[in-house]
Amino acid sequence: GQSLEQPSEVTAVEGAIVQINCTYQTSGFYGLSWYQQHDGGAPTFLSYNALDGLEETGRFSSFLSRSDSYGYLLLQELQMKDSASYFCAVRDRRSGYALNFGKGTSLLVTP
Amino acid sequence: SQTIHQWPATLVQPVGSPLSLECTVEGTSNPNLYWYRQAAGRGLQLLFYSVGIGQISSEVPQNLSASRPQDRQFILSSKKLLLSDSGFYLCAWRTGRANEKLFFGSGTQLSVL
């Protein structure tokens, strides 16, 4: 089966940097994705790592280490609007290539 | 451009009543379609997926069912709702297995009372 572990809550100050970690167990790894979800909203795609290393998209970066079955999402120059839940996800070949999501990390950005 | 429509946005239903949630995708053909459910403050649980018309696979045994009567239409149904069916239901699609990005509908908040 598949499992993903990420912290349930993280709090950080506006302007700071925060890292959200994700460890996974899966058979047949196709890459690690990250999604953002604001309260009451739908998840939206942030980033995807298929290979080891860092992918940067503006203030957000995502890192993957396949040998360690580990990745993280790095958010820089935090803004109040970054308060949301962040989910890591891996693809499941069995389920029409659906994504299996972690339970999510609730990020609270404080002034 | 591709868009996904999901309705209704909110729904309050009594226990034992039927359910029908509809999702349609525009601007693409032969998408993979998915229904997820999210309990309050929890992660997303995959309920059903479909790789083509009339092809439905269930991930979790329950009193819900899904149908795909047309290429870009995905319907989630129940004959008799349970209290435990309450949650946030999300429809999603992707274009084939090579595309990592899942696009989600705006969701339906279902409260079963």
pLDDT in tens, B57-113: 988 878 999 999 999 999 999 999 999 999 999 999 988 655 678 999 999 999 999
Closest approach of A30 to chain B, Cα-based (Å)? 9
| Structural Rg of chain A based on CA atoms | 13
Q: How many CB pairs under 8 A join A and B?
A: 59
Give residue B97's pLDDT.
Answer: 58
> Is the pLDDT at A60 greater than 70, yes or no?
yes
A-interface mutation test, from B33, B44, B108, B109, most A Cβ less than 10 A away: B44
> Which residue numbers of A have CB closer than 8 Å to B's CBs?
30-31, 33, 35, 40-45, 48, 50, 87, 91-92, 95-104, 106
Coil/strand/helix, residue A81: helix
Stretch A86-95: mean pLDDT: 85
Q: Are B33 and B50 in contact (CB under 8 A)?
A: yes
With CA atoms as reference, the chain B residue closest to A90 would be B100
Average pLDDT, chain A: 93
Least confident of A43-47, A87-91, A96-100, B4-8: A96-100
Give residue B96's pLDDT.
Answer: 65
More confident of the two residues A110 and A28: A110
Encoded amino acid at A10, one letter: V
Core vs surface per residue A5-32: b (16+ CB within 10 A) or e: ebbeebebeeeeebebebbbebeebbeb
Give residue A45's pLDDT.
Answer: 93
CA atoms within 13 A on the CB side of B71: 7
CA atoms within 13 A on the CB side of B82: 5
**Each residue of A23-39: pLDDT tens digit?**
999 877 888 999 999 99
Q: Are the Cβ atoms of A104 and B42 closer than 8 angstroms?
A: yes
**Each residue of B21-63: pLDDT tens digit?**
999 999 988 899 999 999 877 789 999 999 899 999 988 878 9
Which token pair is B70? 């047309």
Q: Are the Cβ atoms of A98 and B32 closer than 8 angstroms?
A: yes
CB-nearest partner of A96 from B42, B57, B90: B57
With CA atoms as reference, the chain B residue closest to A4 would be B43
Average pLDDT, chain B: 91
Q: Dump the DSSP string for A15-59.
A: T--EEEEEEEE-SS---EEEEEE-TTS--EEEEEESSSEEEEETT
Give residue B98's pLDDT.
Answer: 58
CB-nearest partner of A43 from B32, B50, B104: B104
Closest approach of A111 to chain B, Cα-based (Å)? 23
With CA atoms as reference, the chain A residue closest to B101 would be A45
Give residue A20's pLDDT.
Answer: 98
Core vs surface per residue B19-42: b (16+ CB within 10 A) or e: bebbbbbeebeebbbbbbbbeeee
